[in-house]
Amino acid sequence: MLVEKPQFFVGGGVAHGPKGESKYKKRRLNKNEKRLSIASIITEKNKKNNLIIFDDFDKKILKTKEIYQILIKFDATNSVMIVDKKTMDNIYKSSKNIPNIKVTDINHFSAFDLTKYKKIIFTETSVKQLEKRYL
């Protein structure tokens, strides 16, 4: 006589596991929606006086203390700095060790970065590049 053994999952099973990918997929935004969201966030920050535009940093700033003093002067200790390539080379090393400061290139920022930080700091060249890109 053959007795059938009950079937168990080898290594155990997951009770109420995922039922497919549709529940866990993220909605993708198209380019126009991304552009409009970034423009509206920048406009809102400008209305609340949380937008700062600096001159380009021509000299290389080597000390973290120097860049931190500039940020304290403008009350921007929780900010994202969107800079051009030349300024990025001049200030990146001195600002990467400061907490709550993110320095990013004009091509590598997202709407999440703009909403996460209280203030947005642009340089003059990055504003021109941003206008060229989004207008």
In whole angstroms, give the CA distance from residue 106 to residue 82: 6
Residue 96 lies in a domain: yes
Q: Domain span at residue 102?
A: 50-134
Are 101 and 64 a contacting pair, CB within 8 Å?
Answer: no
Q: In terms of DSSP H, where are the helices of the chain?
A: 31-47, 64-73, 85-95, 111-116, 124-134
In whole angstroms, give the CA distance from residue 26 to residue 22: 9
pLDDT of residue 68: 95
If you average pLDDT over residues 110-133, what whole number do you get? 93
Collapse the DSSP code of 35 into the 3-class scheme (helix H, G, I; strand E, B; otherwise coil) and give the result: helix
Residue 89 lies in a domain: yes
Residue 15 lies in a domain: no
Residue 42 lies in a domain: no
Q: For 41-64, how does the pLDDT look when each residue is reduced to its tens digit (9 = 90+)?
A: 999 999 999 999 999 999 999 999
Higher pLDDT, 135 or 99: 99
Band the pLDDT of 135: cuts 50, 70, 90. confident
- CATH number, domain of 70, equals 3.40.1370.10
For the chain, what is the domain count? 1
Q: For 23-44, how does the pLDDT look when each residue is reduced to its tens digit (9 = 90+)?
A: 566 778 898 999 999 999 999 9
Residue 86 lies in a domain: yes
Average pLDDT value over all residues in the chain: 88
The answer to whether the Cα torsion of 12, 14, 15, 20 is positive or negative is negative
CA 73 to chain centre: 23
Are 72 and 119 a contacting pair, CB within 8 Å?
Answer: no
Residue 118 lies in a domain: yes
pLDDT of residue 15: 76
Instruction: Specify the range with the lowest mean pLDDT, choosing from 3-7, 51-55, 60-64, 104-108.
Output: 3-7
Residue 81 lies in a domain: yes
What phi and psi, each to the nearest 5 degrees, are found at residue 45?
A: -65, -35
Residue 31 lies in a domain: no
pLDDT above 70 as % of the chain:
87
